Structure 1
């Protein structure tokens, strides 16, 4: 019975440590996702300027 208890406690400790590592990795991935989302976000002003540039480019006869 003692050996079984030691094995189960060891398995529990390993699983808790693995969960902790997964938690840290999830926090890192969430931070990277937020950084990428901040880079990709286009404001209304940028969209209007881009639309205007496209319309100006269409008017140029090449």
Structure 2
């Protein structure tokens, strides 16, 4: 994952509500619309741009629906 500070700063060390939320919702790759929707969040003091590139490893023999 590569992200701008608009995502990385509220994530911090990932031991917070933002980290818990994204650990749950990005455990599997979402579709593009849902991915964009997930990044559109409000958090006090963090209202700048959010850009993220994420890559999920594909297990051998795993077929995505």
Alignment TM class, shorter chain as reference: under 0.3
- The structure with the greater share of residues assigned to helix is 1
- The structure with the greater share of residues assigned to strand is 2
Give the structure with higher Rg (CA): 1
With structure 2 as the length reference, what TM-score do the two structures score?
0.23
Greater relative CO, 1 or 2 (CA 8 Å, sep 6+): 2
